[in-house]
Structure 1
């Protein structure tokens, strides 16, 4: 039977990381797939739970979590509504959280457990940096990954950001204006070397599958090409006609994974089995 168990950990700045583990209780010692969500995303967005069940049914323990500063509160798990926490996020805080989850996995399942990481969009950028620096990761999979963190804002916004201490990004779905404090920019500039995704990509020495739709308006296909060029040992798969989320949406009411996302899951399963 496919089961989902919840967990919580202390994340960056003492904020809570809420996560869940989906697995088939007939197979207790299965390898792990750890999923890292993107900017304005969260663990229960769209078809993420269906994807978790797919991997659990195919012999994996699927772990996903909300980054501590994702802005998703425990009271409202299906939306970004804690805008003060969201505004205070930084990339270093997110890397702290990922490390905390990897520590939790190691403590729960032992050092020998196989850990494979999937990162989507900004989560893909974080996954690349983590995989370049953490020997606990066996295989890396990125979906629609960014190739630079500063692609999340416009260069011309930076002067205003430094003056006013805040800029706003629009939530495409709710049209809400979401604040980002200048500590995000400061963190990016102060830790430029650590947070350089392309430089980290060059250092990846584990199997790496890069998945990218060719109809992605959020992260254009050339980002995937840049990542693949930075690491000739990686494998790039183009998903024809796929957008940034491979046909998923929030909320996602259907009982089955969207066809293009299902294709992605199949490609990942093949890659994990190689």
Structure 2
């Protein structure tokens, strides 16, 4: 039977990381998959829960979590509502959280290999992490970015520093979401450390790069850039797929969209190799 367990950890600056892991208690667990969500994303977005159930039914523990500064509150887990926390996020805070979750997983399930999946900006976090963290057995990126600064326009930076805040539009809710300039300052301070393409060159574990060829958020050419930096990586194009592989929020079906089903199956095949 498919089970889900909740957990919470102390994240960056003492903010709480809320997470859960899904597994089949009738199956022998073959490994733990950690999923890292993207910008404006969260663990209960769209089809993330059916995906967790699908991997659990195939013998894996599927662990997902909200980055501590995602702006998602425990009392409203299906939307970004804490704009103050969202605005104060930085990449350093996200890397702190990812490390905390990997440490939690390695300690709680020491006999299982850890597989890391990152979507979009979470893909960037996963690449940089996998390049230096020996606890990761395999890396899978879905629609990953190749540059953290691609999430804003270069011409915004001067005004961003002058006013301390810029606004990004949530395409789903049309809400203007604030980002403090501490994000930009943090990125500039750690530019070498947070260089996704350079980290890609250092990834030594098996790596699968999945990307849709109809992704208007992160073009398929970005996946090709990553693959060129790490020639041992496998790249797979999902024909017709968008940035979220046909999912939407809210997502009410128990079945995965066709493109997301393809992404899940390709991921499972890769893990089993």
Q: Confirm or deny a common fold (TM above 0.5).
A: yes
Runs (5+) with no aligned partner, structure 2: none
Measure the CA separation in 2 of the matches of 1:113 and 1:61.
9
Measure the CA separation in 2 of the matches of 1:72 and 1:20.
14
2:137 corresponds to which residue? 138
| Number of matched pairs | 273
- For 1:65-117, what per-residue CA distance to the aligned partner results, in whole angstroms no more than 9, with x for missing partners? 0000000000110000000000000011000000000111112112x420000
The Cα RMSD (Å) is 0.7
2:257 corresponds to which residue? 258
Structure 2 residue 117 is matched with structure 1 residue 105: no
Moved more, 24-33 or 124-133: 24-33
Structure 2 residue 248 is matched with structure 1 residue 249: yes
Pairwise mapping of residues 87-166 of structure 1 onto structure 2 (< 5 A)? 87-110=87-110, 112-166=111-165
1:28, CA displacement in angstroms? 5.0
Pairwise mapping of residues 214-229 of structure 1 onto structure 2 (< 5 A)? 214-229=213-228
- For 1:173-202, what per-residue CA distance to the aligned partner results, in whole angstroms no more than 9, with x for missing partners? 000000000000000000001100000000
1:189 corresponds to which residue? 188
1:236 corresponds to which residue? 235
Measure the CA separation in 1 of the matches of 2:65 and 2:32.
14
Query: Residue 71 of structure 2 contacts residue 80 of structure 2 at CA under 8 Å; is this kept in 1?
Result: yes
1:33, CA displacement in angstroms? 0.5
Measure the CA separation in 2 of the matches of 1:11 and 1:28.
30
Query: Residue 29 of structure 2 contacts residue 59 of structure 2 at CA under 8 Å; is this kept in 1?
Result: no
Structure 1 ranges of 4+ moved more than 6 A: none
Alpha carbons of structure 1 residues 29 and 259: separation in structure 2 relative to 1, 3 Å: closer
- For 1:37-88, what per-residue CA distance to the aligned partner results, in whole angstroms no more than 9, with x for missing partners? 0000000000000000000000100000000000000011000000000000
1:254, CA displacement in angstroms? 1.3
Superposition TM-score, scaled by structure 2 size: 0.99
Measure the CA separation in 2 of the matches of 1:72 and 1:26.
32
Measure the CA separation in 2 of the matches of 1:118 and 1:174.
26
Measure the CA separation in 1 of the matches of 2:253 and 2:101.
30
